[in-house]
Structure 1
Amino acid sequence: MSHHVVFLDHEGIGPSVKVPQLPFVHTWTSYSYSSPEDLVGRLQDATVALTCSVPLRTEHLQQLPKLKMISLALTGTDIVDLDYCHEHGIVVTNVPGYAANTVAEHVIAMMFELLRRPSSYHRLMQKIHRGEVSPRNIYFDFRIRDVAGKTLGIIGNGVIARRLAELARGLGMKVLFYDKGGEFSGTGFVPLEQVLTCSDVLSVNVPLTDETRNMLGARELAQMKRDAILINTARGGIVNEAALIDALLNETIGGAALDVLVNEPVDIDDPIFQLIDRDNFILNPHVAWSSEDAMQGLIDKALNNIVQFANGETPQFAIQKVTA
């Protein structure tokens, strides 16, 4: 059987990433990006859809009788209506854990930036060079703190959380976990209140679900140390952004670094930009996952899922229907 494969948004992978050739009879069409209005027309004859971020909802899928497989070039599955796919025999695959090291390293980088402040002092030297600030013998403009000996609290226990813990322990940090699902317990797993009150650095590493939405709000942030920093590389919405803005403006926590927001792409009028010029705040545009190494592994595995499907196999990373 010949397949027609449509890549809906190749802009989702970097220009250095090489897309492997599929080793079976097929036709291939690739688009830089596909809007919701484009989907039905572009997938009308497709048997396989490959997407990095373009959602496929029931209203689209109902109009695509030839579609047999959706390969998600990402870990999350919330951009596809899985119930419809399971009911109509459409195989859906994802790529779990491809950015475990990448995201964990990004957390560490953000942590170092907020504790050690190298970029803050670099910007100070730029001001000195421009004559905006007079040179001095000693500089204490920004507080510098050691990483070793600090406590890292991790909300989550997936592959990213575990890799982050490994890196943090290598730096001499103590690690505490809060596992909301309650599946894991024992040494290092503590109640949320203890993670909040004991952590010098708090990292969010759980998926966005109905249970985790606004998991960290005003009450939880108020329990953190006044000099603790919060890092979210998971999903926007787990941290209540209004509460975080308030906590930083009122200096009830020491700093925050966000790679994710509720509204992405961010609007220039988003309230989060109230914090953008603060030296204890970092905002990134959802890039923690996107190292060249991780993206290459991502597309390789997403395409391998398609190869397995075309060979009549059940793909290794097929999303199974959840039964009660």
Structure 2
Amino acid sequence: MHRIVFLDSATLAEGVVLPRPRFPHEWTNFASTAPQDIVARAQGAQIVVTNKVPFDAATIAALPDLRLIAIAATGFDHIDLAAARAAGIAVTNIRGYSVDSVPEHVLALILALKRQILPYVADVRAGAWQTAGQFALHTHSIKDLRGKRLGLFGSGSLGQRVAELGKAFGMEPVFAGRKGARARPGTLEFEEVMATSDVLSLHCPLNAETENMIAGPEFALMRKKPLLINTARGGLVDEAALERALDDGLVSGAGIDVTRPEPPPMDSAIMRLAQRPNVLVTPHIAWASLEAQQTLADQLGAVLAAFVKGERMNRLD
């Protein structure tokens, strides 16, 4: 009998069906779990499912029965992989489930910002159309996507799909090499992409190499006053530096779906940014179409079944 505990099941929307394993098991769901409750709730479990509940070395050491940490997401920066490996605990994640949801959200943010959708909707609701004196209202400058350079940071499945969608709109997608390294074939130098792009979109993991990847020095490189789109991880962008860059006109706008921490404090830079007409902040839902969430749930069921069979599906350890 395998005891399975899902520590933050409310991270999946209502209506998403999580397939239950066919092997003998006892399954417990917790809608959310505070850090101080992790050990008590996971004690005695062989399998823990977590979306964003963190597992550091101390937590892992306090759970001697644990054999699998199954991440119900792709990102794994909240798990101490070295500690899990040392304790003989397998770690898995979910892959490729949001290859439509995230890229579509990226394009939605780009289009909404370039075409000033929200400011124009606000104007209509305020009655500005009626007072314009003509058939069209010209209170905000609209820009097309055709011919614009789309700089992509991260060339995995999400970055590649965003490139495809951008190309369909007539954009020129280019992939950036790693910061501080020579560009590999198929990429341009990191600094060149920063300097020459009209839109920048982030699709890379958060780690020691990418933390605050875009901060003051990088904003200073941006000659074309681009849009900055981040649907990857909040820690990739220095939010205070982004606020200053917007103040100084170094970027023309931003679409932000991820912050650090999540949710952000009400007095944080990101919440101040959310009040600006040229910034769209969404609550980490780029990944969360119902189709993507169901794909995630189905894959999670397959990962658990594979682990019990001794198969190495989606292993990170």
TM-score by length of 1: 0.92
Deviation of 1:100 after TM superposition, in Å, equals: 2.5
TM-superposition CA deviations, 1:252-304 (whole Å, max 9, x none) = 22111111112211111112233233211111111111111111111211221
**Deviation per CA, 1:144-177, whole angstroms, max 9, x where unpaired?**
1111111100111111111111111111111111
Counterpart code for 1:11: A
Map 1:75-94 onto structure 2 (within 5 A).
75-94=74-93
Q: Which residue of 1 aligns with 2:240?
A: 242
Residue aligning to 1:205 = 203
- Number of the residue aligned with 2:266: 268
Shift of 1:94: 0.5
Say what the alpha-carbon RMSD is for the aligned residues: 1.8
Counterpart Cα distance in 2 of 1:20 and 1:95:
15
Q: 1:314 — aligned with what?
A: 311
In structure 1, runs of 5+ residues without a counterpart are: none
Indicate conservation of the 8 Å contact 2:46/2:66, yes or no: yes
Structure 1 residues 183 and 301 mapped into 2: Cα distance closer, same or farther (>3 Å)?
Answer: farther
In structure 2, the residue matched to 1:67 is: 66
Query: 1:29-48 to 2 correspondence within 5 Å?
Result: 29-48=28-47
- Inter-partner Cα distance in structure 2 for 1:213 and 1:28: 36
Secondary structure in 1 aligned to 2:39?
helix
Matching of residue 291 in structure 1 with residue 294 in structure 2? no
Structure 1 match to 2:4:
5
TM-score normalised by length of structure 2: 0.94
1:100 is matched with 99
Residue 96 of structure 1 aligns to a residue whose secondary structure is coil
SS of equivalent residue, structure 1 residue 100: coil
1:183 deviates by 9.2
Number of the residue aligned with 1:178: 176
What percent identity do the matched residue pairs reach? 36
Number of equivalenced pairs: 315
Asked if 2 retains the 8 angstrom alpha-carbon contact of 1:70 and 1:93, the reply is yes
2:298 match = 300
Which deviates further from its counterpart, 46-55 or 217-226? Answer: 217-226
Query: Within 5 A, what are the aligned runs for 1:89-238?
Result: 89-128=88-127, 134-137=131-134, 138-180=136-178, 185-187=184-186, 189-238=187-236
**CA shift for structure 1 position 227:** 3.6
Contact 1:128–1:135 at 8 Å: present in 2 too? no
Please identify, of 261-270 and 218-227, the stretch whose mean Cα deviation from structure 2 is larger.
218-227
Report the residue type matching 1:6 in the other structure: V
